[in-house]
């Protein structure tokens, strides 16, 4: 028997992408500013801050690209 691979698409609205990006940036800045967690000389708070700022960067750039395509098609 062949296994069927089902791919479902989940699309986010433009406003949702922008709000996720803004919230990740705000939380990332707050984590970097007010927390300090270390485990065996590994900065866990630095890792979380970098992860959140990376997600923020990707979401905000995605929003800008989508909006640019919408404006150029009008």
Cα(30)–Cα(36) distance, integer angstroms = 11
Please count the structural domains in the chain: 1
pLDDT in tens, 7-64: 445 677 878 889 999 999 999 999 988 888 888 888 888 899 999 999 999 999 999 9
Other C-beta atoms lying within 10 Å of the C-beta of residue 49: 19
Per the domain annotation, does 41 fall within a domain? yes
Q: Which domain holds residue 64?
A: 14-73
d(CA 46, CA 64): 27
Residues 33, 35: Cα–Cα separation, whole Å: 6
Which residues fall within 8 angstroms of residue 22, CB to CB, at 6 or more apart? 56, 60
Residue 31 lies in a domain: yes
Around 27, how many Cα atoms within 13 Å sit in the side-chain half-sphere? 14
Is residue 2 assigned to a domain?
no
pLDDT class of 1 with cuts at 50, 70, 90:
very low
Q: Is residue 8 part of a domain?
A: no
pLDDT of residue 10: 61
0.85 surpassed by pTM: no
Residue 1 lies in a domain: no
């Amino acid at each position: 028997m062949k296994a069927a691979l089902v791919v479902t698409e989940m699309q986010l609205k433009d406003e949702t992408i922008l709000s996720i990006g803004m919230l990740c940036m705000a939380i990332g800045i707050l984590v970097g500013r007010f927390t300090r967690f270390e485990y065996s000389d590994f900065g866990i708070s630095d890792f979380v801050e970098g992860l959140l700022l990376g997600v923020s960067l990707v979401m905000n750039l995605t929003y800008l690209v989508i909006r640019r395509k919408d404006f150029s098609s009008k």
